[in-house]
Amino acid sequence: MSGTVSIVGRPNVGKSTLFNRLIGRRKAIVHDEYGVTRDRHYGECFWNGKTFSVIDTGGYLPDEGDVITEGIREQVILAIEESDVILFVVDTETGITTLDRTVAELLRRQDNKVLLVVNKCDNEEKRFEGAEFYGLGFDTYYPVSSISGIGTGDLLDEVVSFLPDEPEAEEVNYPKIAFVGRPNVGKSSLMNALLKDDRCIVTDIPGTTRDAINSTLEFEGETYILVDTAGLRKRAKVKENIEFYSTVRTDRSIKEADVVVLLLDSMMGFDEQDKRILREAEKFNKGIIIALNKWDLVPEKDTNVVREFESYIFKKVPTLSYIPIITLSAKTGQRIYRVLQLSRQVIEERKKKISTPELNKFIETILKERALPVKRGNVLKIQYAVQVKSNPPVFKFFMNNPQELPPNYRRFIENKLRETYGFEGVPITMVFRQK
């Protein structure tokens, strides 16, 4: 990467719209309600041969004291500190406001390069009106329209001129671990504990994280991308547009992840929404882990308590008993790195490959243990099997009359595959075809 560019300003000047324009896709939630963007939101932009990070930040409010606003304010400061170029966005439709002057005063004290971006300049008249923003004390301004893209090319030309040269490096696809779950189960706290950084806003107010946040972490010689997602509520309760888009983005994070960690509050139990998340992860063949957070609050922590919790969960989702369950406390740091260690194991399990001779020897063994049933007077036969894909594992079985194979025998084959070869935390896809 050539460097980092942050987008800052007061609420509702179009920062997230500009962010989406620069990275070329609708990644940040755009809404006219204050406070939609809360955490630092990262994306990538490529322009004139340079690739750089872009950070979308929440609207800066200097004086309000509620916990969410204070968290946003801290995130803006963090984004400014790690940036090479700062895009200070203002709104030509409202002109200079007291909040704009406050942000300008903050930015003039920074050593980083600051570019004043006058947004919503959709025509020549608006472009000329932008001249009033010279009153904020900057040498020049860049009129743009984030919605239509007018002026963003000239802005990007200027941005890349202030960025360092991009180091040559091979492209590496690091495994992604997504933390998902209901609101207020401790996803952001776990992220911060692992990163040892206040990357995500952490409060005890459910629903604080609305977008998915990506962070890179090195652990025991391996690099991972950690994804903190918005807390998923039951769909019937997702009434706001903002919450709807948060749910869409969390679902997208599940689809893009290699491992999905379902975080549960040890004191709250397991409900239908948690079950839906597991089914979603299984549907997309993701590695899956269940982590019981806030274990420090559980009065009795012996192995029987863990087994009781496992039995309670797998009674509700009996076909998902291959998912490992761990206990941890993001608050105290108890066993938090077990999440990364187990994720690495699950990633390796997803890559596991069984040779065709070995797999067919396995089929012969299980057929002797439990013969295939007779359907409509015909004896069902599996001629041979092959693993056609790994990461995730897909097996194809060739047989006569595959449509007659009962579901309980399919489950028998899967259980025997897991008993023999493992695949802990990994959904197995089995395809049965007529030879």
CATH assignment of the domain containing 132: 3.40.50.300
240 or 301: which leads in pLDDT: 301
Whether residues 415 and 369 fall in one domain: yes
* Token pair recorded at residue 253: 């994070």
Cβ-proximal residues to 230 (8 Å cutoff; 6+ apart), any chain? 183, 207, 209, 210, 211, 212, 243, 246, 247, 249, 250
Question: How far apart, in whole angstroms, are the C-alpha atoms of residue 302 and residue 49?
Answer: 57
168 in a domain, yes or no? no
H helices of 257-355, in order, are 272-283, 303-316, 338-350
13 in a domain, yes or no? yes
Whether residues 298 and 190 fall in one domain: yes
pLDDT of residue 244: 38
Burial bucket for residue 435 (CB in 10 Å: 0-12, 13-18, 19+): exposed
Segment 177-218, tens digit of pLDDT: 999 888 888 888 898 888 886 655 444 544 444 455 678 888
Question: How far apart, in whole angstroms, are the C-alpha atoms of residue 136 and residue 114?
Answer: 12
For the chain, the domain total comes to 3
Q: At 350, is the pLDDT very low, low, confident or very high (cuts 50, 70, 90)?
A: very high
60 in a domain, yes or no? yes
Question: How far apart, in whole angstroms, are the C-alpha atoms of residue 68 and residue 212?
Answer: 17
Question: How far apart, in whole angstroms, are the C-alpha atoms of residue 96 and residue 135?
Answer: 8
Query: DSSP letters along 403-433, please?
Result: GG--HHHHHHHHHHHHHHH--TT---EEEEE
94 in a domain, yes or no? yes
Whether residues 11 and 61 fall in one domain: yes
Whether residues 91 and 23 fall in one domain: yes
User: Residue 393: is its pLDDT beyond 90?
Assistant: yes
Residue where a domain stops, chosen among 116, 137, 161: 161
Segment 128-179, tens digit of pLDDT: 888 899 999 888 999 999 889 899 999 999 999 998 775 555 455 789 999 9
Whether residues 308 and 194 fall in one domain: yes
Whether residues 29 and 136 fall in one domain: yes
169 in a domain, yes or no? no
Whether residues 157 and 180 fall in one domain: no
pLDDT of residue 54: 86
Residue where a domain stops, chosen among 285, 319, 350: 350
* Beta-strand runs (E) in 57-148: 85-91, 113-119, 141-143
Whether residues 252 and 236 fall in one domain: yes
According to DSSP, the β-strands at 378-379 and 374-375 are: antiparallel
Distances (CA, A) of 412 to 101, 133, 363: 69, 71, 11
User: Residue 256: is its pLDDT beyond 90?
Assistant: no
Whether residues 324 and 203 fall in one domain: yes
Residue where a domain stops, chosen among 295, 325, 350: 350
pLDDT of residue 207: 47
According to DSSP, the β-strands at 4-8 and 85-91 are: parallel
312 in a domain, yes or no? yes
Segment 66-111, tens digit of pLDDT: 555 565 566 677 767 778 899 999 999 888 988 888 888 888 888 7
Whether residues 328 and 190 fall in one domain: yes
- The domain in which residue 10 lies consists of 4-161
232: phi then psi, degrees, rounded to nearest 5: -85, 130
Whether residues 239 and 204 fall in one domain: yes
| Cβ–Cβ < 8 Å for 414, 426 | no
Question: How far apart, in whole angstroms, are the C-alpha atoms of residue 109 and residue 37?
Answer: 24
25 in a domain, yes or no? yes
Whether residues 346 and 364 fall in one domain: no
Segment 280-337, tens digit of pLDDT: 899 899 999 999 999 888 876 666 777 888 888 888 888 888 999 999 999 999 999 9
182 in a domain, yes or no? yes
- Please report, for the domain that includes residue 416, its CATH number: 3.30.300.20
